[in-house]
Amino acid sequence: MSLPYSTEKQVAITAVRRACALTSSVFNKLVKNETLTKDDKSPVTVADYSAQAVVNTILSRAFPADPIVGEEDADELRQASGETLRMRIVELANEALTADLGIGEVAEWGLGPGQERTSAELMDAIDHGSDQGGRVGRRWTLDPIDGTKGFLRGGQYAVCLALMVDGEVVLGVIGCPNLPVNNAEPDGPKGCIFVAVTGQGAEQTTLSGANPTPLTIPPVAPGTLNLLESVEAAHSDLAFNTRVSELLNITRAATQMDSQAKYCCLARGDGGVYLRMPTRAGYKEKIWDHAPGSVLIRECGGVVTDSRGQPLDFGLGRTLGENYGVIAAGRDVHAQVLAAVQTAQAEEREMAKA
């Protein structure tokens, strides 16, 4: 008898693996050779759309009744002005979909030689990511490139996919094409996939699916705790993080990187705390930015809450609702990190009164 979500797990790994190959190809073909711009023809836009087309195509073939909460839609691509970009996306997506079958992959998922899609089919696949979320039923969440600036720098980014059932995250797959397989060898082989299924633990594999390694967040030895935080100051209150570090007597410098690769590093012990506090009023975290990371940390024996100590609520729609921040850490240290965060918040409130 197979384990729950075993087929979903393999489909998700396949989709993320192929999207990782595509995004790496885009970087090597386009980012290194083109002038980077922020308009809709920038390499990150090409990769974003193409990866969403690939993942949504695979999910729709394997689970046609499942809705997808995605970041992009194809409205602009369907217009005459989007023809050049659309043609490039179709070419890249088909290149990824028609590559030879890999470990655990099945042709019935629309994969392998001869499985090209038309432009219309791929635009429809992109638009399949328009679900609004909710607390009832099955749905997938997708961020085809989490950490766009990291992607453009050749640094850390991630392809992030999760399955939710009745508002609870039950499966998470995160592909990190540029993350070292072993943090102790930063110049060694790169490219990892992190997989977690509720009640079944978590593991890291290579991008090809080889060398599965079970993951457990190790206990934090005294003096070794440090923060994992965003590179971009706009994404997290880094000054607040510094104060939290002081309250926890942390002496190690924070590890800064883009994307949910931070969750992955925490899962294997490369850093003790992932802290992401809001930088401005009104900003709401998107569910696709935390769904796979949250189940990964939970299945590695860690804890993920907001600054009130409450679990993140993925059943509210496309966002997590009012933003109270995100605190992820091993079970042995989460409570003291939460206390430090709440102390720093109290200090800020007192300063605001002065």
Report the catalytic residues. Answer: 48, 148
Instruction: Count CB atoms within 10 A of the CB of residue 214.
Output: 10
Edge-first strand order for the sheet with 190-197 is: 68-69, 138-146, 158-165, 168-180, 190-197, 201-206, 213-214
DSSP 173: E
Give the N- to C-terminal CA distance of the chain in Å, as an integer: 64
Partner residues linked to 302 by β-bridges = 330
Residue 131 in contact with residue 56, Cβ under 8 Å? no
Stated length of the chain: 354
> What is the residue type of 295?
V
